[in-house]
Structure 1
Amino acid sequence: MRNQFQVLFAACVAISLPAFAETYPPSAYKDGAVKCMQVRSYDCAEKNWNQYIKMRPTDAKAIASLAITYHWADKPEASIIQAEKAISMGEGTYDLFAAYSESLAKTGRIEEAIDWGYKTLAILPNLVNVRGDVAKYLVMRKREFEALTLLASFDSSLEAQGHGHYFDGQRIAIESSLERQGQTITATAKSMRLPKTKEHFYAPVKLGDNKIEAFMVDTGATKTTLNEDMLSDSKASYKVVKPLVNMQTADGRNVQARVVTIDNMKVGPFELRKVTAVVCKTCKPLLGQGSLSQFNMVSSKTQGVEFLTLELR
């Protein structure tokens, strides 16, 4: 009880009596800062972290904590300075990267905010707040299809686990914006970048009346695949090529399927015609070589974050 009182007293001293700060050991200011952060007392946390860092200037974790504190206090410029200092010292945690990304966005450095948002997701892919923010930044930069891929791929992973979608509302907003833009975005699009989600790349595919869905890019599959419900719900025009074929799915199951030619299908802003696809009741949406062969594909990896860029041939 006495120790707790001493820590809280030291926190107060750091605020009201800075001239006598070094009367207390560094640990008192560190403990005080942590307690202040826990109760969201940002001014108290700032003063304690600053005093502690004066006494322990090589503590990168403390500098990162100060960056996060400034971020919480809505002081993005100060947060950026401390975040860059911590990162330059080798500190690399998801909460530091997330604070840095959002602070960069607040100061108008959107491209850098996207970059550090992706780095955050590379560490912890399930951070839905960061994923949603990166999607918003991408829309600001007119990269709506990349944003949709980022959101739809996560929703697909939830669906595969038996859960509902998380980003339906945000996806509807972005798709509505695309519809208002009409053919403008299609005419100006040159390429599309796909971020890696866990172990795979996903492409945003629109089939008929369906909303945009995430199709896994599978260079090992000969044809594009989708399930019967998806094809039926889309009301897309297609022709049956082979009414019955036996096929083995990626997970080793033998299923009965049919081969169809779909009149047109959109991959991001790009329209593909006469797409040959395999359809079965349980087929997963995959974009196979039959569709991928219409693109030049370039993969890249920058500071631990992987992307696949598609450019229509």
Structure 2
Amino acid sequence: MLTQLKTLFAASLFLCLPALAETYPPSAYKEGAIKCMRARSYDCAEKNWNQYIKMRPTDAQAVASLAIVYHWADKPEASIIQAEKAISMGEGTYDLFAAYSESLAKTGRVDEAIDWGYKTLAVVPTLVNVRGDVAKYLVLRKREFEALALLASFDASLEAQGHGHYFEGQRIAIESSLERQGQAVASTQKSIRLPRTKEHFYAPVKLGDSRIVAFMVDTGATKTSLSEDMLTSSKTTYKVVKPNINLQLADGRNVSGRMVTLDTMKVGPFELHKVTAFVCKTCVSLLGQASLSQFNMVSSKIQGVEFLTLELR
């Protein structure tokens, strides 16, 4: 507590500097602004950054810092102005993008907030607060399955590392909303857009009674694959085509399993029928050509962010 008070006191000393601009060099205002930011003294930081920028107008990092301060102070309109100025000057840090995205959302510019949220995640994919916010913005735009793909893919990567799911509650909320809407969602959606997570695209897939999970899109795999545990827990209806089969996976492993035909499988809002799948004890969840052939697939890269759009044929 004492340390925090000392920091606040040190920061407050810079509040009077703007009145004596000719006395102090630009570095004094910059130092004061940084101290104020560390102390979360927004008014102090705002005054010092503004004075510094008057003296050093080409310092894009300072302009970005002022945008972040305005964001912290819940001044979204002012934050947007400074963020756009900083970006136009070539500044491109994750915290600037995140502040810009959230400020855009606060002013009702939700579609732009989604775009800049994705850009933030392209820089730092592990920002869970930004990922969760983008999912909320997508839900506002009735793009629930894209939101689920964004969240479930991150949880899948955690699960692969032996960790629990981070977005369990948010996913349950979105899935519950989808259940209430019923077939209305499927009838209105013609395609689903999947954001790239690390090196792969993931689609939200539902089998029988199971929760929606992330299946990695694998255009190099012939069949869709899933684990025995997933097949059993889903209680979905299927027919065994080949009870014993050996396959070599993409990573070179030889595994034993069985080939089945799933009566139905939902990929986002779309219901597929008679899907051939390879099931084994250690199989990971993959969407292979057996399922992907039912879609038109279009990949795109928008200002550094990659997407895969699936449209049912």
Q: Deviations over 1:139-159 (max 9, x none)?
A: 000000000000000000001
Q: Structure 1: how far apart are the matches of 2:250 and 2:304?
A: 27
Q: Structure 2: how far apart are the matches of 1:303 and 1:169?
A: 31
* Aligned-pair Cα RMSD in Å: 1.4
Q: Structure 1: how far apart are the matches of 2:12 and 2:170?
A: 44
Q: Is the 8 A contact 1:8 1:32 kept in 2?
A: no
Is 1:227 paired with 2:227? Answer: yes
What corresponds to 1:156 in structure 2? 156
Q: In structure 1, what residue type is equivalent to 2:73?
A: A
What corresponds to 1:102 in structure 2? 102
Residue 103 of structure 1, CA deviation: 0.2
Q: Is the 8 A contact 2:11 2:39 kept in 1?
A: no
1:63/1:84 CA distance change after superposition, 3 Å: same
Q: Structure 2: how far apart are the matches of 1:275 and 1:10?
A: 67
Residue 211 of structure 1, CA deviation: 0.3
Residue 253 of structure 1, CA deviation: 1.2
Q: In structure 2, what residue type is equivalent to 1:169?
A: G
Q: Structure 1: how far apart are the matches of 2:13 and 2:293?
A: 68
What corresponds to 2:45 in structure 1? 45
What corresponds to 2:142 in structure 1? 142
Residue 261 of structure 1, CA deviation: 0.2
What corresponds to 1:55 in structure 2? 55
Q: Structure 1: how far apart are the matches of 2:20 and 2:89?
A: 29
Q: Is the 8 A contact 1:223 1:290 kept in 2?
A: yes
Residue 23 of structure 1, CA deviation: 1.2
Q: Is the 8 A contact 1:229 1:281 kept in 2?
A: yes
Find the residue that maps to 2:261 and give its secondary structure.
strand
Q: Structure 2: how far apart are the matches of 1:8 and 1:31?
A: 14
What corresponds to 2:196 in structure 1? 196
Q: Structure 2: how far apart are the matches of 1:133 and 1:22?
A: 44
What corresponds to 1:124 in structure 2? 124
Q: In structure 2, what residue type is equivalent to 1:38?
A: R
1:256/1:11 CA distance change after superposition, 3 Å: closer
1:90/1:17 CA distance change after superposition, 3 Å: closer
Q: Structure 2: how far apart are the matches of 1:59 and 1:77?
A: 21
Find the residue that maps to 1:256 and give its secondary structure.
strand
What corresponds to 1:30 in structure 2? 30
Q: Is the 8 A contact 2:201 2:308 kept in 1?
A: yes
Q: In structure 2, what residue type is equivalent to 1:296?
A: N
Find the residue that maps to 2:100 and give its secondary structure.
helix
Q: Deviations over 1:112-149 (max 9, x none)?
A: 00000000000000000000000000000000000000
Find the residue that maps to 2:125 and give its secondary structure.
coil
Q: Deviations over 1:37-70 (max 9, x none)?
A: 0010000000000011011000000000000000
Residue 14 of structure 1, CA deviation: 5.0
Find the residue that maps to 1:164 and give its secondary structure.
coil
Q: Structure 1: how far apart are the matches of 2:240 and 2:259?
A: 6
Q: Give the % identical residues.
A: 82
Q: In structure 2, what residue type is equivalent to 1:221?
A: A
What corresponds to 2:296 in structure 1? 296
Q: In structure 1, what residue type is equivalent to 2:201?
A: F
Residue 10 of structure 1, CA deviation: 9.0
Q: Structure 2: how far apart are the matches of 1:197 and 1:117?
A: 14
* TM-score, scaled to structure 1: 0.96
Is 1:248 paired with 2:259? Answer: no
Q: Structure 1: how far apart are the matches of 2:171 and 2:10?
A: 49
Find the residue that maps to 1:22 and give its secondary structure.
coil
Aligned residues: 307
What corresponds to 2:3 in structure 1? none
Q: In structure 2, what residue type is equivalent to 1:270?
A: F
Residue 227 of structure 1, CA deviation: 0.3
Residue 217 of structure 1, CA deviation: 0.3
Q: Deviations over 1:258-298 (max 9, x none)?
A: 00000000000000000000000000000000100000000
Q: Is the 8 A contact 1:10 1:28 kept in 2?
A: no
1:259/1:28 CA distance change after superposition, 3 Å: same
Q: Structure 2: how far apart are the matches of 1:56 and 1:17?
A: 16
Unaligned runs of 5+ in 2: 1-6
Q: In structure 2, what residue type is equivalent to 1:39?
A: A
Moved more, 20-29 or 60-69: 20-29
